[in-house]
Amino acid sequence: MKKFKLPQSYYNWTSLTGSVIALVSLFMIVFLFVISMFFAQGSSYLGLVLWIVLPGLLVVGLIIIPIGMALKQRKNKKEKVTFEHKWPKFDLNEPATRNATLIFAMGTLIFLLLSAVGSYEAFHYTESVEFCGKVCHKVMEPEYVAYQNSSHARIACVECHVGSGASWYVRSKLSGLYQVYAVLADVYPRPIPTPIKNLRPARETCEECHWPEKFYARQLVVEKHYLADENNTEWDISLQMKTGPTYSALGLREGIHWHINPDIKVEYIATDSVRQNIPWVRYTNKISGEVIVFEDEENRLSEDQIAGGMIREMDCMDCHNRPSHDYQTPMKFINRAITAGTLSGDLPDIKSFSMGLLGKDYPTTDSAMKHIEREINAYYSSGYPDIFNENPEMISGAIKAIQDEFRKNIFPGMKVKWSAYHNNIGHLEFPGCFRCHNDTHTAQNGKVIPLDCNLCHSIVAQGVPDTLQVGSIFDELEFVHPNDPYRDWKEYLCFECHRDLY
């Protein structure tokens, strides 16, 4: 029996190198697959290596083999090296040819099968939360941490960021190429800007799960706040949020979600990239055909600006623009920590002092952790020595609680915190509702987009628990601002003061 030989052109260092790369890659793929499947071992980077890096090396090795053979043939031709047969004989009656054909056919079949499985697994891995949040850990850490603490923590990233359909999948992968380059070259911005221009319409993502016509009519929101005084005085407020009409049978005829009523269309022109300045709004009633244009009296657009402006139809994301990556303000997350009991409200001045600590900018998270611990220990050891000496666990608990909340909401390495991104829900720290509802958007027929807080919510109860002012869901209370006896709050929009508190 003749010994089987490969073509003469195969025997060169280039082709041999390609063979070694391909064989080692194949061995590592099988080895890591067995480890991950049967021994439950691995990390967030195993999928990246197993389904993307190693298959890529395998393909590169296989491509190198024919390249080496072609170069060898070219060299032989140039040096006028001749062999007995210029063209290989293909005769299945010969054992060598038959064996080579069988090896090639079986190898091709196995390679195609592995390629199909690998491509399928690579697709699912690149669509996974682990890939999105952990592979580029430093860059995606703020988004991943905030996402894990959001109401969408069990929804895969791609469900919102990509959605269904091949075209958006391809588009996301193409845009991802530059993102990979930016990370490798360390040229990515800090913080990462929100890709507002490239967002898919909410009707193709959000409404795959949320059914607008079946939203809850109204909801009761009860919150505890704590004043920045020595006693961390509790101040409660209960709001009836008018997300829908008084009765659910009325659908979306009134309430906050009226803006996406399928029978109407609300459009606007924003003059800035983050859609905070909205001087032009158009309302269209699809049933009656009525059209009303509202223009900001203090910032009116010219006809040319309107003609050249980008008119956007309002959807969920115009208000819910931070549904999964919401970085809370210190005021909010300290209030929640005290309410949850992780931060003791019995510790004097803890609200005001922690707000001062969290309002500073830190170069790194580690430096922030050390500064918080050092300053709290110093403050209470000098200002409240009895508490510091008799209740050390209260002090250490406060340090841990503030540090934990910091890690969830502030990321110095990426320059991410509450002020890095506008949040359009509400109007406390950002313009939000006031972008349009500010009493300055008027129409030619005299109609105005009103600045009326009771359009969206009504106050059911408010004040200190011992002297709580209580109303009813049918009778709204007038807002009372704590520590403001002269009612100066009426002279400003909420965010104009609250955005400067930190």
- pLDDT for position 404: 96
How confident is residue 73, by pLDDT bands cut at 50, 70 and 90? confident
Q: How many structural domains is the chain composed of?
A: 4
Residue 214 has pLDDT above 80, yes or no: no
**pLDDT, tens digit, for every residue of 438-484?**
999 999 999 999 998 888 999 999 999 999 999 988 888 999 999 88
Q: How many other CB atoms sit within 10 Å of the CB of residue 353?
A: 19
- Is the distance from CB of 262 to CB of 213 less than 8 angstroms? yes
Beta strands in 311-456 (DSSP E): 311-313, 441-442
Of 80-94, 183-197, 328-342, 438-452, least confident by mean pLDDT is: 80-94
Spatial distance between the Cα atoms of 230 and 371, rounded to a whole number of angstroms? 22
Higher pLDDT, 65 or 341: 341
Same domain? 252 vs 283: yes
- Exposed / middle / buried, residue 410 (Cβ in 10 Å: 0-12, 13-18, 19+): buried
> What is the SS3 string spanning 211-245?
CHHHCCCCEEEEEEEECCCCCCCEEEEEEEECCCC
Same domain? 28 vs 101: yes
Residue range 331-335: mean pLDDT, rounded? 95
Residue after which a domain boundary falls, among 95, 126, 157? 126
| Cα of 79 vs its chain's centroid, Å | 61
Same domain? 311 vs 431: yes
What share of the chain in percent tops pLDDT 90?
48
Higher pLDDT, 250 or 236: 236
- pLDDT for position 41: 53
Mean pLDDT score of the chain: 85
Residue 414 has pLDDT above 70, yes or no: yes
Same domain? 413 vs 430: no
Confirm whether 79 is domain-assigned: yes
**pLDDT, tens digit, for every residue of 342-376?**
999 999 999 999 999 998 999 999 999 999 999 99
- pLDDT for position 1: 45
Residue after which a domain boundary falls, among 68, 96, 126? 126
Same domain? 33 vs 62: yes
Beta strands in 102-213 (DSSP E): none
Residue range 23-31: mean pLDDT, rounded? 78
- pLDDT for position 383: 94
Same domain? 22 vs 147: no
Of 86-95, 98-107, 286-295, 443-452, least confident by mean pLDDT is: 86-95
Residue range 296-317: mean pLDDT, rounded? 93
Residue range 230-255: mean pLDDT, rounded? 90
Residue 35 has pLDDT above 50, yes or no: yes
**pLDDT, tens digit, for every residue of 49-64?**
666 677 777 788 888 8
Residue 486 has pLDDT above 70, yes or no: yes
Residue 80 has pLDDT above 70, yes or no: no
Spatial distance between the Cα atoms of 42 and 259, rounded to a whole number of angstroms? 47
Confirm whether 359 is domain-assigned: yes
| Cα of 16 vs its chain's centroid, Å | 46
Same domain? 178 vs 34: no
Structure token pair of residue 45: 């980077």
Of 121-135, 414-428, 441-455, least confident by mean pLDDT is: 121-135
- pLDDT for position 211: 80
Same domain? 454 vs 437: yes
DSSP state of 454: G
**pLDDT, tens digit, for every residue of 376-406?**
999 999 999 999 999 999 999 999 999 999 9
Tell me the residue type at 160. Answer: C
Residue 198 has pLDDT above 90, yes or no: no
> What is the SS3 string spanning 243-281?
CCCCCHHHCCCCCHHHHHCCCEEEEEECCCCCCCCCCEE
Same domain? 250 vs 122: no
Spatial distance between the Cα atoms of 454 and 425, rounded to a whole number of angstroms? 15
From the list 137, 501, 135, 144, the residue with the least C-alpha distance to 327 is 144
- pLDDT for position 119: 65
**pLDDT, tens digit, for every residue of 155-180?**
888 888 888 776 777 777 777 778 87
From the list 288, 280, 278, the residue with the least C-alpha distance to 307 is 280
Same domain? 115 vs 146: no
- pLDDT for position 158: 84
Residue after which a domain boundary falls, among 199, 225, 250? 199
- pLDDT for position 89: 60
Confirm whether 204 is domain-assigned: no
- Is the distance from CB of 239 to CB of 459 less than 8 angstroms? yes
The parent domain of residue 157 ranges over 130-199
Residue 215 has pLDDT above 90, yes or no: no
Higher pLDDT, 8 or 61: 61
Confirm whether 1 is domain-assigned: no
Confirm whether 206 is domain-assigned: no
Question: 349 in helix, strand or coil?
Answer: coil
Same domain? 260 vs 271: yes
Spatial distance between the Cα atoms of 291 and 248, rounded to a whole number of angstroms? 27
Spatial distance between the Cα atoms of 400 and 392, rounded to a whole number of angstroms? 12
Strands 457-463 and 311-313: unpaired
Spatial distance between the Cα atoms of 160 and 71, rounded to a whole number of angstroms? 49
- Is the distance from CB of 351 to CB of 338 less than 8 angstroms? yes
